[in-house]
Structures are given as structure tokens and as C-alpha cells.
Amino acid sequence: MTGAGGADGTGGADGTGTGLPAGALPGRHVSEYFRLERWEVPPPEDAPGPSILRGRAPVEDHQRGPGGGLTLGGLLSVVDSLGGFACGLAVLPRWIVSSSLAVRMARLDHRGPLELEATVLRSGRASAVCEVAVRDRGAGGRDVASALVTCAALDPGDLPLRFARPVVVPMSPADPSAPGPEEFFHIDPGTGPVTRMQMEDRLRNPWGILHGGAVAALADVAAARAVAGVEGGAVASADTVLRYLAPARVGPVEARCRIVGARREGTVVRVAVHDLGAGGRPVALASVSVRNLGPRSAR
Amino acid sequence: MALEEYPPPHHVLSDLGIEVDAPDGSVTVARLPVTPHLYGGHGGVRLGVLATLVDVVGGAIGVEVLAPDWMATSDLAIHGLRPATGAVVEARGTVVRRGRTTLVVETTVSDGTDAPGPVAWATMTFAVLPASAAAGPRPRRTDRRALRGAGFDRPVSEAVGITTGEGVAPGHGGAVASLSVDDYVRNSFGAVQGGVVALLGETAAMRSLYLAGVSPELAPVDLQVTYVATARAGPVLATPRWSEVGARGSSTVVELADAGAGGRLTSVVSLRAERW
């Protein structure tokens, strides 16, 4: 199984919300950082099918990116967590890892809190596909993004999956001392086409591999740095397609960027992510559209 | 339809005149002769046509790499980088990752002009279907192939059976485009060919943006197709489900459903349109 992302399957701050034992899932810290609240909406009795999963995440000031709203990496993290969780519930008693994330951004300057709704479009023995709509509650429910999460289903092995249904994961408390996303995700400072992330236990998902949201956060920062290093000026990562190729288990993890083309409104960047501690093994491939935030170019 | 007979002479891929080659074993190349009927309204070959070429490259790679297993396209994402205006467009595809359950391919498309850089870049994922679970082992096809059909006598979207405007699926409110399904657009599995799905998605998405009042100067620059289920019966109806109109570009998402299969959702297509 090649998927390497993954819903973190958390039980909230202490694991009690889902019936999971506290501390059973070490990757929970990513969702806690973004304070993602989640709750399951079961289907009506006369229309059986997968549950809808809804979520809410405040956009803290220290989590905002150059576009004014939650960083792209942050948005992808919450999309991955919610969408992956919805897919996981749909394939029980199996569980999932994310195999791809695709997001089309409507607005980069959202206010928050964000409201999310994950709807499973298909679930089968081997995979599941989920659509995640993201709206800005602070701006009257305006659309922020439309995303698709594709997951591979697999045998959960020893992973504890004892859920109290419907699942409710409360919002974790605010942490005034929380760092910005680059520091939280242990992304090394730097500029240019190569960006590195240190592997920390809190960034691992329930399978013990690097959380899909952490890979997304790295791709976001790396693509923006690659474009800023060439063009200068203010830029922000936007539309993204991220494919998880293999698990990142060792680290550090390195994103290598190549600009494949520049358009009037932005730049398309190829981001290849490698696990340096595993012989440079490729773990993800992303295409990131980096938008110019300054005046229009004369291109 | 047996793989060896696919595509037949009267088929969209044959009429496109695509030539497929694997010159050195590590790269697969497909070339498409450009005719006026492949152009969109923004000064280059339509992004959906380039997506079809990319799909052919990916399929050729999958056939070669995954034998004796079969595969199904999971998703395709293509980024247009400048208008494709050359006489021939060429797509070169390589394997990014061959896993037990998935194959990831990336493809660069160029047009042979003096303009710098490629015209498009694409990635796609295939789900591996084990031979035992599919239709038995499948032989490799390593030969160079040139598909030769009669060509098009009208715009490609019309030729494949895409309809927009007043003719779309009476009684199915909300659909902005539809596709009639016959063997001309079916693949060797009997489902609508992946590139044709992309072409329908592009047509519907641009129609949706047009109806939303977006400037016709905006060209489709990014197209992403997620294949949820196969479309076999038809007509396939394309209905907008999300859109955002912005000052610097607009985005939309459309869903494609097989009306002949109880309205089953088959694909979700998202598109970004900007000025070149």
C-alpha cells in the first residue's frame, strides 16, 4: 500500500470523544494544532449510506499565511484530517491512508472560523473518495475551497478503532503560546528551491508515518519559497494536487521544487518530496499553483 | 472489445490520429497532429484534448508496466502553461511510482514551437486491478502504434457527442452539458474513455462559468478529473456544483452522472480559468 497521508483518527484532546484510549494515536497533535472540531452526521434511517462528517476550525492569527487566511498547508491539513476520517468511517472495519489530495481555492483571504463538510462519494473494499467543502463562517458562509480526498483502505492491524458513534471530537483549547505553522511542522528556515522538514513524533499519524497534513504543509512552504526566490514579491500557494507515493518513516524530509511554467496570474511548481533518512525515497509528488499577490504583471 | 482491437477505426482516438511510441523503454511518447477542429476559443489546442493525449500516454505506460494486471484511471490533473499552437503536440510520459496498488505517471506536453517551455504538465494515478480479479492476464503491447481514422469534420466536442445549450437533457434541470455514449467514445472496458470525460468536464465547466457571467477571455488553464465510477450507458450529464468568480480568475467544479445508470455519479471535474 503506497498511501502515506492519513486521517489522524484522534479522540480529541484526551481521546474520550471517540472511545479511543488516551494517547493511543500519536498523530493527533496536527488536528489539535488547528483546533479542528469534528462531528458525525449519520444518514437517515430510510436512506442508508456513509455518514457526513462536519468540522469547524478557528483561524488563529499565528496560522495565517500571506494571502490573509489559513495557510494552504493548514487548510490541506484540516481537509486531510476531516476527509480521511470520513473515508475511514465509511470503510470500517478497515481503515485508510490518504493517497491523494486535490484542492481548488476560491479565496485566500478568509476570516474564519472555517466550516467543513465531508461527503463520501464512493467507498469500496480497496479505496474511498470524499469531497470536502470549506466555507468561511466569518464571512457569511462564503466558499473558501472545494477539495477531494482519495484514500486507500487497508487492514488496520493493531490500530485501535473503537468509536463511540456518532463520533464527536471537541475543539481543543486555544494555546496562546502556539508557534506558527513553519515552526510547528519543524520546517527549516530557508529560501530557494529546496526546503527541509525535520521528522518529529507529533507529526506522525496513527500508522507511525508522517501525517499527510505535514507533507502538505511542506509542499506549501517549499513551492512558495521556490517562486519567491525567482520572482520576488508577495506570493501564496493556492490550488494543489498532492499525491502520496510512499510512507515517510525516517526523516528528515526534503521538498525539491521545479518551476514548470509561469502564467499571467501565477506559477506552476512541481514539488517532489523525499525521505532522506530512507535513502532519498520519493514519498510525495505535488503540483502547486503559486499566485502572485502583487499588481498584475505585464506578461 | 479485445485490447488488441482497441481502438477500432471508427473511434475518437483513431480520428485524433495519435501516434504512440516508447523509444527507449523509460519514456512513452504520443504525438497528436493538430487540426483546426481541436482548437478552443483561446488560441490553442483545447485543454481537454491535451488531457486526452495525456490519458493515452498514461494508458500506454500502464499497459506496458502493469502487465499482466489491468488498471483503471483514478484521477488526472493537467496544468496548461501557454497556448499550444504548433502543428504537432507531443506528450512524453514517465513513471513516477509503481506501487502494489497504484501507478503514478507524469507527462510533459510540448508543441514544437520556438516559445520557451512546455505547453502543459500533467500527473495521473491509476488503480492496479489484479489480473485474477479482472478479466484474466493481459498481454503487453510494446509495438509502435499509429492510429488513423477519418479525422474530424466539425469541432471535436461535437464530434464526440457533447451537447450544450438548449439541447441538453430535457427534464434534467441544472445540467449544462451532456454526452451521448456509444462505441465511438468507449474504451476497451466498455466505459467512456477518460480523455472524453475530461473533454466533457472542460466543456461543461466553461459553459458553467459563461452562464455565471465570467468573461469569455478567460481560458481553461487547470483541469482535474477524479474518476469515481465508470460511465457506460449514457447520456452523461454534467451539472455545476461549485463555482467562484474572481478578479484574476475563476474556478468551478462540475459533477458528471450517468443518466442511463440511475444517475450514478461517475466523475468530479474541477477547472481553473484565467487570462493567458
For residue B130, the model assigns a pLDDT of 83
For residue A210, the model assigns a pLDDT of 93
For residue B136, the model assigns a pLDDT of 59
CB contact under 8 A, A265 and B96: no
How distant is the Cα of B271 from the closest Cα of chain A, in angstroms? 8
For residue B237, the model assigns a pLDDT of 96
CB contact under 8 A, A268 and B121: yes
Q: What domain range includes position B17?
A: 3-274
Domain A16-168+181-292 carries which CATH code?
2.40.160.210
For chain B, list residues with pLDDT below 50. Answer: none
CB contact under 8 A, B101 and A126: yes
CATH code of the domain in which B48 resides: 2.40.160.210
ipTM > 0.85, yes or no:
yes
For residue A9, the model assigns a pLDDT of 35
How distant is the Cα of B257 from the closest Cα of chain A, in angstroms? 12
Domain residue spans in chain A?
16-168+181-292
**Is B101 an interface residue toward A (CB < 8 Å)?**
yes
For residue A162, the model assigns a pLDDT of 80
| The model scores a pTM over 0.90 | yes
For chain A, list residues with pLDDT below 50. Answer: 1-27, 297-299
For residue A16, the model assigns a pLDDT of 29
For residue B133, the model assigns a pLDDT of 61
pLDDT in tens, B123-132: 999 988 888 7
Number of domains in chain B: 1
pLDDT in tens, B14-32: 999 999 998 777 899 999 9
For residue A19, the model assigns a pLDDT of 34
- Chain B, window 206-225: residues with a beta carbon less than 8 angstroms from a chain A beta carbon: 221-222, 224
For residue B106, the model assigns a pLDDT of 98
CB contact under 8 A, B104 and A285: yes
Q: What is the 3-state secondary structure (H, E, C) of chain A?
A: CCCCCCCCCCCCCCCHHHCCCCCCCHHHHHHHHCCCEEEEECCCCCCCCCCEEEEEECCCHHHECCCCCECHHHHHHHHHHHHHHHHHHHHCCCEEEEEEEEEEECCCCCCCCEEEEEEEEEECCCEEEEEEEEEEHHHCCEEEEEEEEEEEEECCCCCCCCCCCCCEECCCCCCCCCCCHHHHCCECCCCCCEEEECCCHHHECCCCCECHHHHHHHHHHHHHHHHHHHHCCCEEEEEEEEEECCCCCCCCEEEEEEEEEEECCEEEEEEEEEEHHHCCEEEEEEEEEEEECCCCCCC
**For residue A133, what is the nearest residue in chain B, using CA coordinates?**
B242
Option in B118, B246, B275 nearest A260 (CB)? B118
Cβ-Cβ contacts under 8 Å, B104 against chain A: 243, 245, 285
